[in-house]
Chain A
Amino acid sequence: GESVGLHLPTLSVQEGDNSIINCAYSNSASDYFIWYKQESGKGPQFIIDIRSNMDKRQGQRVTVLLNKTVKHLSLQIAATQPGDSAVYFCAENIGAGGGADGLTFGKGTHLIIQP
């Protein structure tokens, strides 16, 4: 079936470096994407979202890139800090402009920040 998935289960980066977390999706009908951060023992926390009519969106220290041609989504975190250590999930939705239902989540990437 169609699904959202991630390329790497674990990503280790040095504190202060930039990190890039990737996500592949297979449902070409998806028109809305979200990145969530989940810290141990907590629920997912919204980071940034992007609509399918955009290819880039920036937030504070984070940038999401969407390539609809190859169905690829990435999250870039600038100048990573220890507090960025968490599991990051991409999620997709269909019909966000109308009868949207629940999100479809990828499996997650564990980002580890090395001191």
Chain B
Amino acid sequence: DADVTQTPRNRITKTGKRIMLECSQTKGHDRMYWYRQDPGLGLRLIYYSFDVKDINKGEISDGYSVSRQAQAKFSLSLESAIPNQTALYFCATSDSRNLAGGRNEQFFGPGTRLTVL
């Protein structure tokens, strides 16, 4: 979805390096999410945020941190990258106003392919 952008799209780094992945959205959504996808597996939730400065851990938050300083931006950091963090990383957004209708549709960015050597 062009309304959700991720940078960089590809990144190769070395073990121990600090890496930041950026996500920006123009959808005006209040909720943002970071997922990781490994080959042959579905997406797994790392962190999510319901609004600016709100941070919640997901299923696999160890080794990651996030920052939500503005509604449109949600960044994911790997403080000290390790090889098993090699994966596809996806950012997603949703609008809490949809929850009143019992829906939680999430819109995904194009992904960042991260390789840790």
**Residues of A near any B CB (own CB < 8 A):** 4, 9, 31-32, 34, 36, 41-46, 49, 51, 53, 89, 91, 93, 96-98, 100-108
Within 8 A of A (CB), among B78-117: 90, 92, 99-100, 102-111
Chain B residues lying within 8 Å of A32, measured Cβ to Cβ, are 102-104
Within 8 A of A (CB), among B8-59: 33, 35, 40-45, 48, 56, 58-59
Q: Which residue of B lies closest to A43 (CB)?
A: B108
Q: CA–CA, A51 to B108, complex, Å?
A: 20
Chain B residues lying within 8 Å of A91, measured Cβ to Cβ, are 42-43
Decide: B43 and A105 in contact? CB cutoff 8 A.
yes
Decide: B106 and A42 in contact? CB cutoff 8 A.
no
Decide: A100 and B99 in contact? CB cutoff 8 A.
yes
Q: How many inter-chain residue pairs (CB < 8 Å) link A and B? A: 78
Decide: B110 and A96 in contact? CB cutoff 8 A.
no
B1 proximal to A (CB < 8 A): yes
Question: A112 CB to closest chain B CB, in angstroms?
Answer: 16
Question: B36 CB to closest chain A CB, in angstroms?
Answer: 11
Chain B residues lying within 8 Å of A36, measured Cβ to Cβ, are 108
Chain B residues lying within 8 Å of A96, measured Cβ to Cβ, are 99, 102-104
Chain A residues lying within 8 Å of B102, measured Cβ to Cβ, are 31-32, 51, 53, 96-97
**Residues of B near any A CB (own CB < 8 A):** 1, 4, 33, 35, 40-45, 48, 56, 58-59, 90, 92, 99-100, 102-111
Decide: A107 and B1 in contact? CB cutoff 8 A.
no
Further contacts, 10 of them, CB under 8 A, given A31-B102, A107-B40:
A36-B108, A43-B90, A44-B43, A44-B108, A45-B108, A89-B43, A101-B45, A102-B35, A103-B106, A107-B42
Chain A residues lying within 8 Å of B40, measured Cβ to Cβ, are 9, 107-108
Contact of A51 among B59, B103, B106 (CB under 8 A): B103
A-B pairs, top 4 by smallest CB distance, nearest first, are A105-B42, A43-B108, A102-B45, A96-B104
Decide: A98 and B108 in contact? CB cutoff 8 A.
no
